[in-house]
Amino acid sequence: MVCSTTNTHGVPGLQHCNFLKTVDDVRSIRATILQNLERASVPATTDEERRRLLSFVICGGGPTGVEFAAELFDMLNEDLCKHFPKVLRNEISVHLIQSRGHILNTYDEAVSKYAEERFSHDQVEVLTNARVKEVQKDKIIFSQKDEHGKILTKELQMGFCLWSTGVAQTDFCKRLSAKLEVQTNRHALETDTHLRLIGTPLGDVYAIGDCATVQNNIADNLMVFLRTLAWEKGKDPESMHVTFREWRGVAQRVKARFPQAADHLRRLDRLFEQYDKDKSGTLDFGELHELLHQIDNKLTSLPATAQRANQQGQYLGRKFNKLAKTSLGLRRNEVDYGDLDEAIYKAFEYRHLGNLAYVGNAAVFDLDGMSFRGGLLAVYLWRGVYFAQSVSLRTRILMAMDWSKRALFGRDLMNF
């Protein structure tokens, strides 16, 4: 298991932050929050120190940071007064620092705005267009762009900081990437559309999940498609003109090799007409290259989410089963070379099921261009999705028991 590590973005002082990657991280977060609340309850603690201890900062406005801020606020708002002096509630502050103009910037704009409005109502401070410059033991130094575009340096006292700003390569992935000259991506290992690690022998090494990204290089593979077509016609690829019928054949080959480009190749007639600059009824090499290059630019990297990793794992499982079933026939025919993956199984096609996030007794959904947000009903829908996606009956029963226990008795704030 390779996995990934937290992206530090070169910010100094992250030893003063908490992370959210492992069970040990979760225990550390729980212990730090409860210790701060206990220290703030001591009468000898000064007012300034109490405000610092009760200042909670989350760096990163993605789904993880937003959901953590919402859960933290709910815990402090709903369960704090049962175990600690009520006066502490008035001095608690939760801050969310986001480098972009909005939180949940990968979601629909309406969803992002709803989440910001919800946090504003709950008095969770959202600091957008802000970049952390340094984290110190008792404060965070960050720069923020004001409404006039001027960049100001600010400080924020804090007693707890969660660093949740994306993922980066582990040392193993960095060393592996350095040994493969064709690996030029600094953020993840690049694979082809069959999830094979580029630069290694075909079918020997596969990479899925956060450590890898599927390479979008349609334009770079143009010559492969054109050489095949030119060979069929007995012509030179660079001097060949492609008719609309031939363009449909090229498009089918592109979609088979790069399934993620299918959405951009729906109206082949419009694309052909748009890039047929000289209105000759054919596409020359330059026009076809420009067309595929534009499609290449529109393709985005697959999201680093659990649903992508889950689909990739299922895809490889089915492929390996298929390869195992055909291996006997391949050995009998002495076939142990060439692109066996492409000959036996289709390329990986990611199907986006949507995004969702919890924002404090409310939830937001972004489902294939359609957005939904709301209060209690949305929360139960959000829980229903997680309940349905659990891998076993045991996990679902434990999850339902935890939700029931929280509803009846509140959260367990015991430290261990």
Residue 246 lies in a domain: yes
Residue 369 lies in a domain: no
Distance CA 288, CA 48 (A): 66
- On whether the pTM is more than 0.75, the answer is yes
Continuous segment of H or E residues that includes residue 302: none
Residue 128 lies in a domain: yes
Residue 163: strand pairing partners: 59
Give 60-106 pLDDT, tens digit per residue. Answer: 988 889 999 999 988 888 888 778 877 678 889 999 999 888 898 87
Structurally, the chain folds into a number of domains equal to 3
H and E: helices and strands count for the chain: 14, 16
How high is the mean pLDDT of the chain?
82
Judge whether residue 397 has pLDDT over 90: yes
Residue 131 lies in a domain: yes
Give 193-214 pLDDT, tens digit per residue. Answer: 888 898 888 888 999 988 888 8
Q: Which single residue is written with the structure tokens 């965070």? A: 140
- Token pair belonging to 243: 């008719």
Q: Which domain holds residue 289?
A: 219-300
Residue 395 lies in a domain: no
Burial classification of residue 167, based on how many CB atoms lie within 10 Å of its CB (0-12 exposed, 13-18 middle, 19 or more buried): middle
Claim to verify: residue 212 and residue 318 sit in the same structural domain = yes
Query: Using 50, 70 and 90 to split pLDDT, how confident is the model at 48?
Result: very high
Per-residue pLDDT at 19: 92
Sign for the CA dihedral angle at 73, 78, 80, 81 comes to positive
Claim to verify: residue 47 and residue 120 sit in the same structural domain = yes
Claim to verify: residue 245 and residue 210 sit in the same structural domain = no
Claim to verify: residue 120 and residue 228 sit in the same structural domain = no
DSSP label at 107? S
Per-residue pLDDT at 264: 56
Per-residue pLDDT at 299: 56
Claim to verify: residue 29 and residue 51 sit in the same structural domain = yes
- To the nearest 10 degrees (0 to 180), the angle between helices 376-389 and 393-409 is 150
Distance CA 128, CA 61 (A): 9
Judge whether residue 411 has pLDDT over 60: yes
Cα dist from 394 to 291, 361, 407, whole Å: 51, 26, 20
Please give the average per-residue pLDDT across 398-415, as a whole number. 85
